[in-house]
């Protein structure tokens, strides 16, 4: 897996200088080809005005959990996204997520906690010890990436609000603001907004479970879930809910979006498991991104996405085929 | 129909493939190019299927004969893009491994349905020549009604892949269903047979 991108940050020499980029566009226009990309449904790179995030963060590097695998370049992570609030095409979030206002932002924490309340974004970014966590991300669609997140354990945040003994589950909600989220205005979408996710309390308190505010050392682009998102590396990507505005602790298992839409295909747990296929496709393999037409980078999917040593204990005695 | 129309349309129909090749060569298909190729070729097969089925109604509405003269080529392009779609799947997703193919066909119904759509079009492509048309006579028309079954299978294939937003799949299905129903109506209503013979 020797790749060009084995360095932490994209070297400035790798970035297409703007004049070159513009020149290429100009050539396409002159050649009368500018309209042609539409023919193959190709979504060109987001224009400069669509770029969000990218503010440098102060954080502690290194963590015992980091993988040494080749990281997926920032450009790929931020151009290939599932964030259905902005459309179902992988390129839609990069094109339209800049329409979302992320400042001001606050997370409301409620439910089974001694001190319910709101936490403003400034307090989230400055009030916790940020560290880098390089995790594998396995999408339920059978592709995967390696992402150097910047964040802090969700447990650190939850403890501030003092969960009660009745707090058995944690429910999360994404921002729902139709005026800024064109995907939620689609008449043919079957997702009941806002997007909801949930974890069992012990999953939420697990040291691997991260609230992320950045990647590659800088704040998140909107399409990747700015300003703050969940990262649960041993579960399929859709569990790692983006752009969180509400955290609610409950005694009952909360309803999650994908489970509500199709409980046969998506369970509450949704742990990465090569032995339990999605009803419509196999989960035994994955394509590591980026890949090429000559080599799709197929690799075997690992149980709990390779975090078995850390999390298998959470599910001792559970039938993972039934609790998918 | 002017002489240049047919070659013109021929070249036009090749453009999506050319652009796909250009985008692939210039590394412009994103981090998962195989998925893009699958998506794009499948979509173009569907678009050409819609165009093909549109030709008979167009002839009737316009009273001109050019739509029928283009129909064969559009039908063959439908099959061509479906072939590229199928070969891409075999190459990028199965690596031509027979075990994987069998597993996919047996356990993923949408793949079996898509494959069925391609299979149904295969005899149509083979018998698309003028000679075959003559040899088969009345049976040629009967055989080529299979295209409507293929359209149904293709719609189902697309609907089945949709995860949460069925908008696009629904549009294709409705358009194809309208075209199929239009033909069915013409076949059922007495006295209209002459107008729709093609």
B164 interaction partners in chain A (CB closer than 8 Å): 84, 88, 189-191, 261
Q: What is the Cα–Cα distance from A216 to A231, expressed in whole angstroms?
A: 15
Tell whether the torsion through CA atoms of A312, A314, A315 and A316 is positive or negative: positive
Distance from CA of A37 to the nearest CA of B (A): 7
Q: Is B119 in contact with B72 (CB distance < 8 Å)?
A: no
Question: Which residues, other chains included, contact B92 with Cβ-Cβ below 8 Å and sequence gap of 6+?
Answer: A293, A296, B34, B37, B38
Residue of A nearest to B88 (CA): A293
What separation in angstroms does the CA of B55 have from each of A141, B50, B51, B151, B189? Answer: 37, 9, 7, 15, 20
Of A143, A148, A103, A109, the C-alpha closest to A125 is: A103
Nearest to A242 by CA among A262, A264, A257: A257
Mean pLDDT of chain B: 90
Report pLDDT digits (tens) over A159-213. Answer: 999 999 999 999 999 999 999 999 999 888 889 999 999 999 999 999 999 999 9
Long-range Cβ contact pairs of A15-23 (< 8 A, separation 24 or more) = A18/A48
On the CB side of B19, CA atoms within 13 Å amount to: 23
> Is residue A101 predicted with pLDDT exceeding 90?
yes
Interface residues of chain B, partner chain A, Cβ below 8 Å: 15-16, 19-20, 23-24, 28-37, 39-40, 43-44, 92-93, 95, 103-104, 107-110, 160-161, 163-167, 170
Q: Is B176 helix (H, G, I), strand (E, B) or coil?
A: helix
Residue B190 reports pLDDT greater than 70 = no
Average pLDDT, chain A: 88
Question: A316 — contact with chain B (CB < 8 Å)?
Answer: no
Q: Contact A39/B166, CB-based, under 8 Å?
A: no
3-class SS of residue A171:
strand
Q: Which residues of B touch A281 (CB under 8 A)?
A: 108
Q: Could you tell me the residue ranges of all domains in chain A? A: 12-315
| Three-state SS at A259 | helix
| Pair A296, B36: CB distance under 8 Å | no
What is the average pLDDT across A293-303?
95
The pLDDT assigned to A278 comes to 87
Q: pTM score > 0.80 for this model?
A: yes
For chain B, give every domain's residue range: 5-189
Residue A239 · residue A225 · CB < 8 Å? no
Answer yes or no: do A42 and B40 touch at CB < 8 A: yes
Which three-class secondary structure state does DSSP give residue B13?
A: helix
Backbone angles phi, psi at A245, to 5 degrees: -120, -20
**For a pLDDT cut of 90, what percent of chain A falls above it?**
77
The third-level CATH classification (topology) of the domain covering A12-315 is Sulfite Oxidase; Chain A, domain 2 (3.90.420)
Residue A11 has what pLDDT?
54
């Amino acid at each position: 897996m020797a790749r060009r991108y084995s360095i932490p940050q994209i070297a400035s020499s790798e970035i297409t200088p703007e004049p070159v980029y513009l020149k290429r566009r100009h050539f396409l226009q002159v050649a009368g080809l500018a309209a042609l990309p539409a023919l193959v449904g190709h979504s060109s790179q987001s224009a400069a005005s669509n770029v969000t995030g990218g503010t440098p963060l102060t954080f502690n590097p290194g963590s015992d959990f980091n993988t040494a695998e080749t990281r997926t370049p920032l450009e790929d992570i931020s151009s290939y996204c599932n964030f259905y609030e902005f459309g179902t095409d992988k390129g839609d979030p990069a094109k339209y997520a800049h329409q979302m206002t992320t400042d001001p932002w606050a997370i409301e924490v409620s439910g089974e906690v001694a001190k319910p309340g709101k936490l403003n974004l400034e307090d989230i970014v400055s009030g916790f010890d940020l560290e880098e966590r390089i995790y594998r991300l396995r999408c339920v669609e059978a592709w995967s990436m390696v992402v150097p997140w910047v964040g802090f354990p969700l447990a650190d945040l939850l403890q501030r609000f003092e969960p009660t003994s009745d707090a058995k589950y944690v429910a999360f909600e994404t921002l729902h603001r139709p005026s800024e989220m064109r995907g939620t205005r689609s008449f043919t979408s079957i997702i009941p907004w806002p997007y909801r996710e949930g974890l069992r309390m012990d999953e939420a308190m697990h040291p691997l479970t991260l609230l992320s505010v950045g990647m590659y050392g800088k704040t998140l682009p909107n399409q990747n879930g700015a300003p703050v998102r969940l990262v649960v590396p041993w579960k399929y990507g859709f569990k790692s809910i983006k752009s969180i505005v509400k955290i609610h602790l409950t005694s009952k298992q909360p309803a999650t979006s994908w489970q509500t839409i199709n409980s046969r295909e998506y369970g509450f747990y949704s742990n990465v498991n090569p032995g339990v296929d999605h009803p419509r496709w196999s989960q035994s393999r994955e394509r590591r991104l980026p890949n090429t037409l000559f080599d799709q980078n197929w690799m075997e999917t690992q149980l709990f996405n390779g975090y078995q040593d850390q999390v298998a204990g959470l599910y001792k005695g559970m039938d993972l085929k039934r609790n998918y | 129909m002017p002489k240049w129309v047919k070659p013109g349309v021929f070249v036009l129909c090749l453009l999506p493939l050319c652009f796909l090749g250009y985008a692939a060569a210039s590394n412009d298909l994103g981090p998962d190019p195989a998925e893009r190729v699958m998506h794009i070729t499948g979509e173009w097969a569907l678009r050409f299927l819609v165009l093909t089925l549109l030709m008979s109604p167009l002839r009737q509405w316009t009273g001109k004969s050019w739509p029928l003269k283009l129909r064969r080529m559009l039908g063959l392009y439908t099959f061509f893009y479906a072939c590229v779609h199928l070969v891409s799947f075999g190459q990028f997703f199965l690596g031509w491994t027979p075990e994987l193919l069998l597993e996919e066909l047996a356990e993923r119904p949408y793949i079996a349905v898509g494959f069925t759509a391609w299979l149904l079009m295969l005899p149509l492509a083979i018998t698309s020549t003028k000679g075959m048309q003559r040899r088969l006579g009345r049976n040629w028309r009967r055989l080529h009604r299979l295209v409507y079954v293929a359209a149904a299978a293709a719609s189902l294939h697309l609907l089945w892949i949709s995860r949460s937003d069925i908008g696009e799949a629904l549009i294709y299905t409705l358009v194809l269903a309208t075209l199929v129903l239009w033909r069915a109506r013409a076949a059922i209503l007495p006295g209209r047979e002459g107008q729709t013979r093609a």
